[in-house]
């Protein structure tokens, strides 16, 4: 598939304005691959026609943003970040939860430590939220999970579901899924103990990063924790968080 420089700019401007993701020139192949899937799904052959559709069809716009923003994850990714969690932390927000591996991992960690928080799990992608609510995953996503934890919190797939695992209802009841746009919407909850926003800031420029991290600061309780990904930093950004250790910040 070929797209012109003008078409690429149209798509990158749209994605930036809708969700803050910066599709710079190095992301052209990613855009082409995700765009090709949407063209096949809609039956449209012309890129210009598809651009017009995005301006008139809100559901297709959501599906397009879904396709661009979806990323791979797995259970207990960077699990050392969970060590900041304490039994007084009963309201937790996973602000970029993807397909649910992060909030379920946090739920397991907390149950193993003897407490049961409520976890709000949000993402801009409706497709990954549906996957999280369903709670069925290829077993490879649990490569960092011990056999004891797998037996305790997951069901093993049989027959056509061999090679998959399903989250047990005990975990599902702890997690509330909701679509949320970090860039454009007001936070759905306040007075939160911990906010996880991991491995998403890397897609934004400094202006968008500052807008998002300060929006999330406003919903934390005093002494609440803000957790970002290991490849991310708040250096050179205007914010009021206190640095605790790599990836971990606190509202003071």
Residue with tokens 């991991």: 198
Q: Report the b/e string of 184-220 with b at 16+ CB within 10 A.
A: eeebeeeebbbbbbbbbbebbeeebbbebbeebbebb
Q: Smallest Cα–Cα separation from 135: which of 117, 153, 148, 147?
A: 153
Q: Which of 66, 123, 141, 193 does the annotation list as catalytic?
A: 123
31, two tokens: 């855009």
29, two tokens: 């192949």
CB 193 within 8 A of CB 160: no
Strand partners, 179: 123
Strands 164-167 and 154-156: antiparallel
Q: Is 123 a catalytic residue?
A: yes
CA 233 to chain centre: 17
Q: How many CA atoms within 13 Å lie on the side-chain side of 127?
A: 13
76, two tokens: 């207990």
Report the 10 Å Cβ neighbour count for 34.
17
Q: Which of 34, 116, 152, 179 does the annotation list as catalytic?
A: 34
Residues with active-site annotation: 34, 123
């Amino acid at each position: 598939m070929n797209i012109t420089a003008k078409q690429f700019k149209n798509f990158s401007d749209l994605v930036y304005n809708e969700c803050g993701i910066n599709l710079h020139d190095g992301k052209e192949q990613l855009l082409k691959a995700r765009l090709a899937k949407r063209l096949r799904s809609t039956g449209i052959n012309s890129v210009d026609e598809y651009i017009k559709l995005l301006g008139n069809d809100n559901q297709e716009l959501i599906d397009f943003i879904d396709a661009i923003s979806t990323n791979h994850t797995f259970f207990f990714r960077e699990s050392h970040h969970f060590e900041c969690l304490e039994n007084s932390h009963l309201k937790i927000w996973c602000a970029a939860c993807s397909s649910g591996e992060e909030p379920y991992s946090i739920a397991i960690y907390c149950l193993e430590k003897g407490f049961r928080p409520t976890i709000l799990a949000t993402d801009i992608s409706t497709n990954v939220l549906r996957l999280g609510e369903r709670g069925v995953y290829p077993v490879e996503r649990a490569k960092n999970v011990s056999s004891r934890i797998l037996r305790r919190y997951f069901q093993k797939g049989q027959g056509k579901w061999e090679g998959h695992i399903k989250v047990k209802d005990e975990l599902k009841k702890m997690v509330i899924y909701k679509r949320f746009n970090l860039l454009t919407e007001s936070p759905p909850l306040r007075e939160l103990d911990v906010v996880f926003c991991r491995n998403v800031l890397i897609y934004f420029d400094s202006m968008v990063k500052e807008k998002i991290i300060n929006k999330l600061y406003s919903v934390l309780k005093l002494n609440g924790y803000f957790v970002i990904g290991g490849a991310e930093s708040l250096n050179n950004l205007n914010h009021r968080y206190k640095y605790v250790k790599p990836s971990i910040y606190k509202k003071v």
